Amino acid sequence: MPHTNSETGYDPLAQSTANPDEVARFTRMADEWWDPKGKFRPLHQINPLRTQFIVENACAHFGLDGSADKPLKGLEVIDVGSGGGLLSEQMAALGANVTGIDAGGKNIEIAKIHSQQSGLDINYLNVLPEDMAAEGKRFDIVLNMEIIEHVSDPEMFMAASSALLKDNGVMVLSTLNRTVKSLLLAKIGAEYILRWLPVGTHTWGKFLKPSELARLIRPHGLEFTEIAGVIYNPLRDDWSISKNDLDVNYMAFAKRK
């Protein structure tokens, strides 16, 4: 009979959180991960903002010097759905011991090659968070960035991700809000008008409101301590962090209650 961890709700023998259609879609785009003008251009543009949000909140939580050359030195970080390694490399460059995991084998191979070229030591694995949790792996920081809207079972995914946290560990999440504005900008605008992303990259119905994301982490003893929007200015063609506008993209920092 499957064993469920009573604290995390994670069942190591449950079905996979990977969505085969989503894995296949991102595998087809894998060769473009490191092209800043290609299909992952928006991720390249927001990567500095994601890094800033993670570093500021993690340093405050762990009592580290955010102005140091390697502010995340010594921290164990797992980047769930690491893709080609854009964020994993940023974390490693800032001193973290990074493990990047992804359901797409081609993504992992590209990430490995690029990290070697960059001189960064990153442990990339073609596994799922439930695989790591079943092995008893634990981390200081779990990154779930632009991933939960692509999984097959958000509840199971969050249970597995939460099980990866050390007692004093934190989780950083980012996703898309399910609003009319996000439908117009992140779905119709980004895929059909601006052609930033291939049509079908996102399913608007899978976007999560902040309240819904909060409900997903609450059963695992986590709560948001910081939440911020990521907004796009079409006139300047740039992105910035907003404390007030969560209507499209947003990031959240969560820790144990």
**20-177+207-256 sits in which CATH class?**
alpha beta
Residues 52 and 249: their CA atoms lie apart, in Å, by 15
Q: Which region, left, alpha or beta, applies to residue 15 given φ > 0 means left and ψ of -120 to 50 means alpha?
A: beta
Residues 230 and 247: their CA atoms lie apart, in Å, by 9
Taking only the tens of pLDDT, the chain with its 257 residues reads: 233 443 444 444 446 787 787 666 656 666 788 999 888 888 899 999 999 999 999 999 999 999 999 999 999 999 999 999 999 999 999 999 999 999 999 999 999 999 999 999 999 999 999 999 999 999 999 999 999 988 989 999 999 999 999 999 999 999 999 998 877 776 665 654 566 666 666 677 788 999 999 999 999 999 999 999 999 887 888 999 999 999 999 999 999 98
How many secondary structure helices (H) and strands (E) does the chain include?
Answer: 8, 8
How many CB atoms lie under 10 A from the CB of residue 194? Answer: 14
Residue 135: what pLDDT?
A: 95
Type and span of the H or E element at 106: helix 105-117
Phi, psi at 17, each rounded to 5°: -85, -15
Residue 234: what pLDDT?
A: 79
Whether 53 and 143 have beta carbons less than 8 Å apart is answered as no
Residue 207: what pLDDT?
A: 87
Type and span of the H or E element at 154: helix 154-162
In the chain, where the domains are located = 20-177+207-256
Residue 190: what pLDDT?
A: 63
Residue 12: what pLDDT?
A: 42
